[in-house]
Structure 1
């Protein structure tokens, strides 16, 4: 319960930190000058679960990002990131599907730095046990640097989850910390 409250407070604070908006700032996708500026990246790094039964291990995946079409803050910009990642270590395999809007508070030419909350779902499969899913809240920060159409970046994220029920009286929290590097292409 305490983790859920912390996650909710963190997500609300990061979202409110993006500034207030007038009615004209909603649905920038309807503005003829809107540009989604999509990008695709591959990402890899390390993930450490809070669960004592799982060691830190490799995590890898893909990410699709674009400018937010629903909300435009007065300053800065919101970048929606949709990611699919996978971790497989010590008999535990997790697949994470996440939506992470990041408010870019540094948006200076090729350099962007942002932070934001996120929602996700974690599908977990344990060797010798069952499989289950868990809903997730997360908070993260990222930095990207563009080299023409290509970019490199890094991201750190903490994810709070509900408990997964693996059967045989094994219920585990899948909360985790993740640090990843990414390489991608801007379209």
Structure 2
């Protein structure tokens, strides 16, 4: 960082990383004022964290905080995002939003009330209405069909039992879905595989 509070510098190594990133993203769309990249500079006690986000949605991390002995950019990690990549990212964000409400403390912060199955279910249904169809397929609906095609209640228990049943079904379906592609959303993986997480 230079002497001025509003000026940041980029190291020669970071310039090289960015050049390789730029080459990978040469076909990505450019906005009306040539705004292909968005830059974020965050000063920290460890140095400056720099994030460059392409118009396709892909990001590269630069700056003192991220400096490693790796030379250049690993092409596979920073390739332009496809429509499917963006759809997967939105799906993961929506699933994570629903899963976080499983924690009573998070629920209390969001709704300023004690956990309620009806609210969790209504929230999930609201998200599913506008989200990727994989979200609605992951939800266990209130009414189901029995083996004779008659209707049955899927949530006959109390709030605690119904919340547990909802999340057991939902999380398993989300796990099954993300196994179909390479999910890199660490927060979602932490929630779905808490015992296996290296981050906790």
Question: Is the structural similarity TM-score above 0.5?
Answer: no
For CA contacts below 8 A with separation 6 or more, give which structure has more relative contact order: 1
TM-score normalized by the length of structure 2: 0.23
Structure (1 or 2) with the larger CA radius of gyration = 2
Q: Specify which structure has the higher proportion of helix.
A: 2
Q: Specify which structure has the higher proportion of strand.
A: 1
TM-score normalized by the length of structure 1: 0.25
